[in-house]
Structure 1
Amino acid sequence: MSLVLPSELVVDRFLPTVRAMLARRLSERGMTQNEIAIELSVTQAAISKYVAGEASGEERFRTDPDTVATVDRLAEGIHTGEMDGYDALAELLALIQRLEDRGPICELHEEEMPELQGLGCDLCVRGLDTDVRAEREVLADVRSAARTLATISGMAEYVPNVGTNVGMALPDASDETDVAAIPGRIYSMSGRVEVPANPEFGASSHVATAVLAANTVDPEIRGAINIATDDRLLEAASELGYDPLEFDASYEERADRLETRFAEASGVPRVAYHRGAFGIEPITFVFGATATDAAARLHELVEIASG
């Protein structure tokens, strides 16, 4: 695990860049290197490097419009004497807060700490609230489920041509942006199951439609996996007492039709499938309370079907 505080990035990457930008602008306004060093509280040797361009800093800050505009205001205010240290500090702190709110500091933080990627993380801005924790838990569950799929012996045989995906909804999900899945879908290659990326919210409308329909009928069902429809898997499901439910293959108003079928069946089945149609590959959905629950159920089905 890499543990990087955003404040470290501010000190190590942001401040040197801003100081270099500010030093050059103050130099362009005729201030001496000694005067600039006093204003920025650094050595004259450092200012010399800044002005010479030997310490250029982080490109994403140098080209960020908000940072450029703020540095220009600071340079003008310091040069004219209209801005003192208090005013300059207030400007910089406000800029840092903006850059941490899905801005360049946030982007850099995600690069330095990959565990944050895909979270839509607002941790620096609003702290660890219940919504953020719920998102992290869902993403972690989907990630674990995807790893399980990649290790199931014989799983590649049941990956459809359109690819497999595994999804999980947040509590009280309302649309597909509340459902996490694997971007680009999971696919098979040379008999192996390949997971191309970490999960993200809104990554799959296909599996999200099924998850949301199931969740509407039964709030306890928040996970689903799509696989190729195969009679061996359906027979395995029947052996386990899951009573697979068939539904129409058409994509048109699928969410409404799935909700209707689930309601008619007096609840969400553990396995639901269709036989395909013109241009539509036969697909089966395996549902679970979570993504990992659905993956465990599918693992059991594949083992029986392959046995």
Structure 2
Amino acid sequence: MRFPSEIVVDRFLPTARAMLARALADRGLTQQEIADHLGVTQAAVSKYVSGDVAVEERFSEDPRLQRAVDRVAAGFADGSMDAYEALGEFLEVVRAFEDRGPICAIHEEQVPSLEGLGCDLCVRGYDESVGTERAVLSAVRKATRLLEDETAMVALVPNVGTNVGMALPDAEDELDVAAVPGRIHAMRGRIDVPANPEFGGSEHVARTILAARSVDPSVRAALNLATEEAVLAAARDRGIDPIEFDAGYDDRRERLVTVFRERGEVPKVIYHEGAFGIEPITYVFGSDAVDATRLAIELARDAST
């Protein structure tokens, strides 16, 4: 467990001090004068100026910190800025870095369970909605692990890639649906998941889920596969009656809602046979990402036997 304040102390502060020390040295201040401004020893300033202190490049190369250093260095050099004002400049940078900035990125690396949450926990504090988002992201991550371990799914990954998505309970648009950005592909006989799930990570899978849950709120997840007759037959053998729908993308969400309402339910499997420039795709629905993925895997296994 790591707090963002630890990153500020361990990485941001040494980087900002080193950058400011060098900027002040370039303006002709002595090392002792620099030490007085920074509140450190002259020996520490010597290390900063000589480059003996490691800096975090994600901070030092960020224009926001560079501008703050320039303003503070100029203010210290001509006497127009005091320590209070300088702290204000750097605290503004810290706040920006903590809110979806480089401090947030480093924090996610050190605390993987924060990935995809946009630093909501640290910046806005814990609340129930964030807990719900975590649960959705966790379900999609678990679903992708199931896919990675299943060889029967490799042959059913479309050329455009597959994805598994799950919506928040009150989802309204694509940003309320978590999925894998960049899609999931088959490579060298195995499933490759390129990234952790994020909200807004899918467009087509998300729209399909939103159409389904607008008719049946218990349906919150889906996974897309290549359309294969063996998979559709496996679904029918399980008592599932797949719906065929038009492959066009225009108004697909609205058209699917109409199809589901005419059927009077959202079936576990829907499909289309493709169109010009559109690959034939099948969608498998579930109450959550794991549920949809497990059904897809079962259908894939049945289809391969």
* TM > 0.5: yes
One-letter amino acid of the counterpart of residue 277, structure 2: G
CA distance in 2, matches of 1:298, 1:11: 47
CA distance in 2, matches of 1:190, 1:77: 58
CA distance in 1, matches of 2:55, 2:106: 13
CA distance in 2, matches of 1:86, 1:302: 64
Q: Shift in Å at residue 221 of structure 1?
A: 0.9
Instruction: Identify if the C-alpha distance between structure 1 residues 64 and 193 changes in structure 2 by more than 3 Å, giving closer, same or farther.
Output: closer
TM-score norm. by structure 1 comes to 0.89
1:216-231 equivalences in 2 (<5 Å): 216-231=214-229
Q: Shift in Å at residue 45 of structure 1?
A: 1.0
One-letter amino acid of the counterpart of residue 120, structure 1: G
Q: Over the residues paired in the alignment, what is the CA RMSD in angstroms?
A: 2.2
CA distance in 1, matches of 2:190, 2:27: 63
Report the count of equivalent residues.
305
Q: Shift in Å at residue 54 of structure 1?
A: 3.2
Instruction: Identify if the C-alpha distance between structure 1 residues 144 and 25 changes in structure 2 by more than 3 Å, giving closer, same or farther.
Output: same
Among 94, 97, 107, the residue aligned to 1:96:
94
1:40-189 equivalences in 2 (<5 Å): 40-55=38-53, 57-189=55-187
Q: Shift in Å at residue 262 of structure 1?
A: 0.4
TM-score norm. by structure 2 comes to 0.90
The match for 1:258 is: 256
CA distance in 2, matches of 1:80, 1:17: 23
Q: Shift in Å at residue 133 of structure 1?
A: 2.3
CA distance in 1, matches of 2:49, 2:12: 17
Conserved 8 A contact 1:121-1:132: no
Identity rate, percent: 59
Q: For structure 2, which runs of at least 5 residues remain unmatched after alignment?
A: none
Conserved 8 A contact 2:98-2:119: no
Instruction: Identify if the C-alpha distance between structure 1 residues 63 and 235 changes in structure 2 by more than 3 Å, giving closer, same or farther.
Output: closer
Among 13, 29, 32, the residue aligned to 1:31:
29
The match for 1:236 is: 234
CA distance in 2, matches of 1:28, 1:162: 54
Q: Shift in Å at residue 212 of structure 1?
A: 1.1
Conserved 8 A contact 2:152-2:297: no
Mean Cα displacement is larger for which, 3-12 or 275-284?
275-284
CA distance in 1, matches of 2:90, 2:76: 13
